[in-house]
Structure 1
Amino acid sequence: MGKRLTIEALSPVNGGGEYPAKGVVGEHLPLSAVIWREGHDALAAHVTFTGPLGPDTERREVTVPLALTDPGEDRWEATVVPDRPGLWTFRVTAWSAPWETWRHGLRAKLDDGRPADRLTNELESGARLLERMAEGVRTPERAGILLRAARALRETALPLADRVAPALSPEVTELSRLHPVRDLETRGDAYPIWVDRPRALTGAWYEFFPRSTGGRDAAGRPVHGTFATAAADLPRIAGMGFDVVYLPPIHPIGEIHRKGANNALTAGPDDVGSPWAVGSADGGHDAVHPALGTLEDFDAFVDTARGLGLEVALDLALQCAPDHPWVHEHPEWFTHRPDGSIAYAENPPKRYQDIYPLDFDTDPAGLGAEVLRIVRFWADHGVRVFRVDNPHTKPAAFWHWLLWRVKSTHPDVLFLAEAFTRPAVLKGLARLGFTQSYTYFTWRTGRDELAAYARELADSADFLRPNLFVNTPDILHAGLHHAGPAMFAIRAALAATMSPTWGVYSGFELFENEPLRPGSEEYLDSEKYELRPRDHAAALASGRSLAPWITRLNEIRRARPALRQQRHLVVHPCDHDEVLAYTKTDPATGERTLCVITLDPAAPVDVTVALSPESTGRTTGAPFTAHDDITGEDVTLSAATRLRIDPRTAVARVISWGAR
């Protein structure tokens, strides 16, 4: 005969337990399970949360009671807070709780007015349970409380109320919680949770090309930047409140089939080529472009960033230019066409003659070992974050092997998947171990689709962490082509508040919005193929910069822990089709932040937002005072809160309040 108690529908469980679920140090992780048995006897359960070995070589283990939060669905829940990175496991143990069953039944019979002579068996059963409970108590004083309660239940000379009072006392109730009597104890399976450092969940990313930081010469021509000129730009980036600076590939760029400006097939003598065409006679994925400097210069750049509170994210682009050293040293790592030539990359109608994809089937062990070496090489040079280019074009099994092999020696390394692909593939890569994922946020523009996507991302927190980039070198959404600065501010407000991690590609703060052609998502004069020096100081001085708004958003994110959470998001009904409203909650403090964002960059809106007591953390819908982090003023919130948003001054209201 099988187990009498059933433990099922556990969460968080990723891929049936094949892959670890996700958490970060200090995060309040909700754990849940459906637990049931036949009949109506009371049940109890706890979860054992076991962590990795710490510096003291001891394994962290905590046991947390599960609470029955949904009796109709037999759903039990608990919250755990990991305090160190690494691989944790959780295991649910459930049991039949005879003392709770007895106490509930006795109270019901007492309320029914049953006399003592009709409760003889119940009272004796209670006494025996108290004696069983006392056997598990080591402290004589506490055991004595239980044994005296058992004797009272057997004292037939006492009035019934006096016989049962000790057994139903708060002292015995507390002891029954600490030393429960367990019948039919059942242990569930153990499931893994990989706990990262907090940057895996929360951060603000800024992408820029070091080669575009050289300014212009006396004739106005762009000058190729270096790691030194890029380092000089870091205080500006840190000043806007960013946490991570992401660099496109910094390696030598191929000469063969180099692309010219605007992806022209023929490059001129001064064309710098695409950084994603990795490799030349100057080296491959473990080298730096000579025009940027030396490896020592890169180390100095990383040190400067670290001194400003910035991490450096490096692009991991597993592809090669035709003159990459691998093409000659390892021709078996590439796909050969019938005529013997190597196939270049294509995504019809796009063709990338300057890039050779890698073939992971001909020598998976050799190629995998080399990629692992490269990742560890850059990790040894201070890189702890990698943005992975097009991971959906490489085998999932390869990524699973690589990611967990890296984590085995560098558990603090994070990987962002640039997988703008089908949902199953995007989510599949997240499940198998990518730390973060690019998302479909760029293409979500209407209120209803944004609301649905916000809920989807919150519900996916166990395995997928979003990084909401407002733009990339490849993606200039049509919604930014003609809408003007207010739409840039709207997209920044949405990304910065909807997700705990968001990103900006340089030029966004300058409202760069000219497409290669009408309707295209490619930039005209794309920085992928040419130098794009920018005068951020002049733009800021003239008022043609979004930097102050971005800075304010990042300041608010740092001040409001609710905005650094992914799981706890509630979308609110409102009476305007061009307004999105949602609340995020910090489970540690109970603080909440209400974000009300217009989607109309032109016209002021008046909107009524419906706030339930549950979403505000109040017991009633009575009005209360909160703080608007945008205007700096206090506002009154109620069940039907009326707000005005004028995009000429600010496109959003961000309103916060603490737990009552």
Structure 2
Amino acid sequence: MSGRIPIEDVSPSVSCGRYPAKAVVGELVPVSARAYREGHDALGCNVVWLGPDGRARPFTRMRPGEPGQDRWHTVIRPDAVGDWAFTVEAFSDPYLTWQNAVTKKIDAGQGPQELANDLAEGVRVLKAARKLVPAAEVARVRAAVAALRDDKLELPRRVAPALELAELLWDHPVRELVTTGEQYRIWVDRPRALFSAWYEFFPRSEGAIPATADVPARSGTFATAAERLPGVAAMGFDVLYLPPIHPIGRVNRKGPNNSLTAGPDDVGSPWAIGAAEGGHDAIHPDLGTPEDFRDFLAAAAEQGLEVALDLALQCAPDHPWVTEHPEWFTTRADGSIAYAENPPKKYQDIYPLNFDNDPEGIRAEVLRVVLHWVGEGVKIFRVDNPHTKPVDFWHWLIGEVKKVDPDVLFLAEAFTRPAMMHGLGKVGFTQSYTYFTWRTSPAEMREYCAELVAAADYMRPNFWPNTPDILHSSLQHGGPPMFKIRAVLAALLSPSWGMYAGFELFEHVARPGAEEYLDNEKYELRPRDWAGAQAQGRSLAPFITTLNRVRRDNPALHRLRNLVFHDIDNPALLCWSKHDPDTGNTVLVVCTFDSHTVQWGNTTLDMPALGMDWHDRFTVHDELTGASYDWGQHNAVRLDPYLQPAHVFTVRRPGATPPAPTTPASKDDTRWTS
């Protein structure tokens, strides 16, 4: 603490200012600080903030928070991508000091003679204010000065013009004893960094022909995968994530279900990167050529999809790096290169990099690879297992990439200890996978989401109900209603969510004793009959489409910090809302976690969190069914997992314009697929 006025506990501050906080363009970023001073004179605080161009943005005054806590608050709204800086300033506010004293003395019955010094002090303060207010307001200030000096006026009339300047001098204060705090940084991304809907598919499975006794297997290509793009876009997704598209190693190639022996038609795991055809900057020849990939990117863009690539810093034994740079790997006592292990799991087809062997050489090569794909038009990377690489490496790499293109985003696939997950967010990862998949009760989900909101300054969650590696037991045994339940939770709790292909077909058959799919697509081609499933009503796609439409149409769902939970008396149900102060948009959700039985519950809503008084009545419009209801603080709900596992309400306040008619989601068939 230093300076005339103490300024402490500034937020947002990540690791005491070591790393920048995070925001996106247009987001309301809360800024707060603790500031206090001696005596009874009034204190003021404001934020000075600088854009990436070094230009100061408009003066932003802070307001006091809870009385007696000396906490000051405001919000700032960045308007450009890049590295921002802000500083909290504290100052003595002589106008507020004067206003407070004069008002109290007049209320106590003191007259002009007793207030002579106060009136003179008011003249001094207002004369200083004339130089600070807009030109159009100078006349008002001069008139107030004249009134204070006019001893022919009654006391209330002498001070009234000066007291009426309160709002003007709040926005344009006279500041004395100005103390400037430390500078803090905020990295501002494009909006997709916070709000996005991801879909993952294997391009080699789209249009593929599995091997038969008479016909060898044939991989799908970028051209055949492009035929799936309209279907993905129609569901409302905006990011298409592709597993690694590089050549796959032949040495120690895995067979179906991660078996150690691969046959001649087995395609291997895309994460076993590298072969004679090339490494991380090459494309698997079965998928096509670089030109084919560019055509795929263009076709995706036409559908409103941005392609994300996998960045997996590991190598197959026949990756070119293994022979060109054996020092980049770990050599065991017997002279062999160590393959990846996560005991008891073994990955004989993958060699992990050793970042302590020639770290500068590895850094330079990885940066070259990432910038190669950025040059091809890729602006999003899903990073495989970042927690198995040094944290300082990621801090360096992400920083270097953003120097070249600040629009590049990185999603951390780190299902690991909380400290590491949070640390990766702090050093620069744009988004993070989370423990969402394993939070299977309302109490667990509420507690976990509160943790994520508390970390919103640096860690942005991305909720996935499934991945190629993860088929949670709730989906294995919960029946089709559980797929709807998990989709509602993922899509409406977090501003970013994603799902792996097959979720919409209710794929649920697991490898015995494991939390992963039987006949895992990581090791074999898995073409799906999308059109047939849709025609037969065996697809969740219409429901997913509705969820993504609700997300897109409601600004409240584009944010994380505004998540508020409401009490409900049934532990099988979860109730939450999101409110956008800019538009007044509010979404209120009640969702069951029970996919087998009907559940009833009674809400006790936090009405101020909805922007209302405790006694207000309001209309809720269910975006899933098209029905509307009259609600208040206390309401009864009934959720049938087979008919309607959730209410997804948009809230209309008293006197607001009624919502436009909504086409309800179709009643998807709840039969399992074969």
**Same fold by TM (over 0.5)?**
yes
Moved more, 323-332 or 626-635: 626-635
Q: What is the aligned partner in structure 1 of residue 38 from structure 2? A: 38
Aligned length in residues: 652
Q: CA deviation at 1:459?
A: 2.1
Deviation at 1:123, TM superposition (A): 2.1
Q: Distance in 1 between matches of 2:366 and 2:224?
A: 29
Match of residue 236 from structure 1: 231
- Residues 536 and 6 of structure 1, relative CA distance in 2, 3 Å threshold: same
| TM-superposed deviation, 1:131 | 2.6
Q: Whole-Å Cα distance in 2 between the matches of residues 138 and 448 of structure 1? A: 53
Where do 1:540-579 residues align within 5 Å?
Answer: 540-579=534-573
Deviation at 1:608, TM superposition (A): 1.2
Q: Counterpart of 1:37 in 2: which secondary structure?
A: coil
SS state at 1:14 partner: coil
Q: Partner letter of residue 286 of structure 2?
A: A
Farther off after superposition, 453-462 or 257-266? 453-462
Deviations 1:160-197 (A, max 9, x none): 223323322x2x33442354222210111121111111
1:10-37 deviation digits (Å, cap 9, x = unpaired): 1111121111111111111111111111
- Which piece of structure 1 moves more, 34-43 or 419-428? 34-43
Query: How far is the alpha carbon of 1:152 from its aligned partner?
Result: 3.4
Matched, 1:329 2:353: no
In structure 2, the CA distance between the partners of 1:34 and 1:217, relative to structure 1 (3 Å rule), is closer
| Mapping for residues 185-196 of structure 1, pairs under 5 Å | 185-196=178-189
CA contact (8 A) 2:85 2:183 kept: yes
The residue type paired with residue 445 of structure 1 is: T
Fraction of identical pairs, as percent: 55
Q: Aligned with 2:52: secondary structure? A: strand
Structure-1-length-normalised TM-score: 0.96
Return the match for 1:310 from 305, 309, 312. 305
* Pairwise CA distance, 1:143: 4.3
Aligned to 1:180: 173
**Match for residue 416 of structure 2 among 421, 430, 450:** 421
Alignment correspondent of 1:49? 49
Q: Distance in 1 between matches of 2:160 and 2:14?
A: 48
Q: How much has 1:559 moved relative to structure 2?
A: 1.1
Match of 1:287 in 2: 282
Q: Distance in 1 between matches of 2:369 and 2:127?
A: 65
1:507-586 map, 5 Å: 507-518=502-513, 520-586=514-580
Q: In the alignment, which residue of structure 2 is the partner of 1:15? A: 15
> Which moved further from structure 2: 485-494 or 177-186?
177-186
Q: Does 1:129 align with 2:122?
A: no
Q: Is the 8 A contact 1:278 1:320 kept in 2?
A: yes
Residues in 1 aligned to 2:133 and 2:577: alpha-carbon distance in whole angstroms: 46
Corresponding residue SS for 2:491:
helix
Residues 565 and 585, structure 1, Cα contact 8 Å, conserved in 2: no
Q: Aligned partners of 1:218, 1:570: CA distance in 2, in Å?
A: 51
In structure 2, distance between residues paired with 1:2 and 1:292: 62
Residues 52 and 88, structure 1, Cα contact 8 Å, conserved in 2? yes
Corresponding residue to 2:202 among 203, 209, 217: 209
Work out which of the residue numbers 77, 93, 97 in structure 1 matches 2:93.
97
**1:644 has 2:635 as partner:** no
For 2:566, the aligned partner's letter is H
Per-residue deviation at 1:40?
2.1
- More deviation in 606-615 or 281-290? 606-615
Question: Structure 1: how far apart are the matches of 2:152 and 2:15?
Answer: 62
Tell me the distance in 2 between the aligned counterparts of 1:149 and 1:515.
79
Of the three residues 601, 611, 619, the one matched with 1:625 is 619
Q: CA deviation at 1:381?
A: 1.0
CA deviation vs aligned residue, 1:527-565 (integer Å, no higher than 9, x gap) = 111111111111222222211111111111111111121
Alpha-carbon distance between aligned partners in 1 of 2:210 and 2:405, rounded to the nearest angstrom: 43
Q: Which consecutive unaligned segments of at least 5 residues does structure 1 have?
A: none
- State whether residues 410 and 429 of structure 2, in contact with CA within 8 Å, keep that contact through their aligned partners in structure 1: yes
Contact in 2 for aligned 1:215/1:534 (Cα 8 Å): no
Q: Deviations over 1:464-513 (max 9, x none)?
A: 11110111111111111111100111001100000011010111111111
| Greater mean deviation of Cα atoms: 412-421 or 16-25 | 16-25
Task: Specify whether residues 250 and 99 from structure 1 end up closer, same or farther in structure 2 by C-alpha distance, changes over 3 A only.
Answer: same
Instruction: Name the CA shift for 1:37/1:528 in 2 (closer, same or farther; >3 Å).
Output: same
Residue 156 of structure 1: CA displacement?
3.8
- Whether the aligned pair in 1 keeps the contact of 2:199 and 2:239 (CA below 8 Å) is yes
Structure 1 residue matching 2:83: 3-state secondary structure: strand
Question: TM-score, normalising length from structure 2?
Answer: 0.94
Q: Which residue does 2:486 correspond to in 1?
A: 491
Gap change, CA 1:333 and 1:2, over 3 Å in 2? closer
AA aligned to 1:13 is S
Question: Of 325, 333, 341, which residue of structure 1 is paired with 2:336?
Answer: 341
Question: Which moved further from structure 2: 172-181 or 308-317?
Answer: 172-181
Distance, in Å, in 1 between the alignment partners of 2:542 and 2:168 is: 58
Unmatched tracts of structure 2, length 5 or more: 655-674
Of the candidates 396, 401, 410, which is equivalent to residue 406 of structure 1?
A: 401
Give the conservation status (yes or no) of the 8 Å contact 2:246–2:282: yes
CA distance in 1, matches of 2:333, 2:211: 51
CA contact (8 A) 1:431 1:464 kept: yes
1:120 equivalent in alignment to 2:113: no
Question: Which stretches of structure 1, 4 residues or longer, exceed 6 Å deviation after superposition?
Answer: none
Structure 1 residue corresponding to 2:63, chosen from 64, 67, 88:
67
For 1:398 and 1:654, how far apart are their aligned partners in 2? 42
Between 1:625-634 and 1:303-312, the stretch displaced more is 625-634
Distance change (3 Å), C-alpha of 1:167 and 1:587: closer
Give a deviation string over 1:119-172, Cα, whole Å, max 9, x none.
222222222222333354684x7545434433433444443223323322x2x3
Matched, 1:385 2:380: yes
Which one is further off, 645-654 or 128-137? 128-137
Helix, strand or coil at the partner of 2:568: coil
Q: What is the CA–CA distance in structure 1 between the aligned matches of 2:197 and 2:493, rounded to whole Å?
A: 12
Q: Find the counterpart in structure 2 of residue 106 from structure 1.
A: 102
Kindly provide the amino acid, as one letter, of the partner of residue 527 in structure 2. Answer: P
- Secondary structure of residue in 2 paired with 1:195: strand
Contact 1:28 1:81 in 2 (8 A): yes
1:362 aligns with 2:357: yes
- Amino acid paired to 1:598: T
Q: Matches of 1:40 and 1:587 in 2, distance apart?
A: 34
Deviations 1:61-88 (A, max 9, x none): 2221111132321121112211111111
CA distance in 2, matches of 1:137, 1:646: 61
AA partner of residue 35 (structure 2): I
Report the counterpart of residue 462 of structure 2 in structure 1: 467
Task: Give the 3 Å change call, closer, same or farther, for CA 393–299 of structure 1 in structure 2.
Answer: same
Question: Would the aligned equivalents of 1:28 and 1:80 in 2 still touch at CA under 8 Å?
Answer: yes
CA deviations 1:541-594 (Å, max 9, x no partner) are 222221111111111111111112111011111011111110011232121100
In 2, distance between residues paired with 1:445 and 1:178? 48
Which whole-Å CA distance do the structure 2 matches of 1:288 and 1:63 have between them?
Answer: 51
Take 2:639 and 2:239, find their aligned partners in 1: how far apart are those partners? 31
Question: 8 Å contact 2:248–2:284 — kept in the other structure?
Answer: yes
1:255-314 CA-partner distances (Å, limit 9, x unpaired) = 111111111111111111111000001100000111111111111111100010000010
Residue of 643, 647, 651 corresponding to 1:657: 651
Structure 1: which amino acid aligns with 2:245?
Answer: I
Q: Partner letter of residue 29 of structure 1?
A: V
- Does 2:78 correspond to 1:85? no
| Residues 28 and 587, structure 1, Cα contact 8 Å, conserved in 2 | no
Counterpart residue type for residue 75 of structure 1: R
Tell me if structure 2 keeps the 8 A contact 1:476–1:521.
yes
Secondary structure at the counterpart of residue 550 of structure 1: helix
Q: CA deviation at 1:650?
A: 2.0
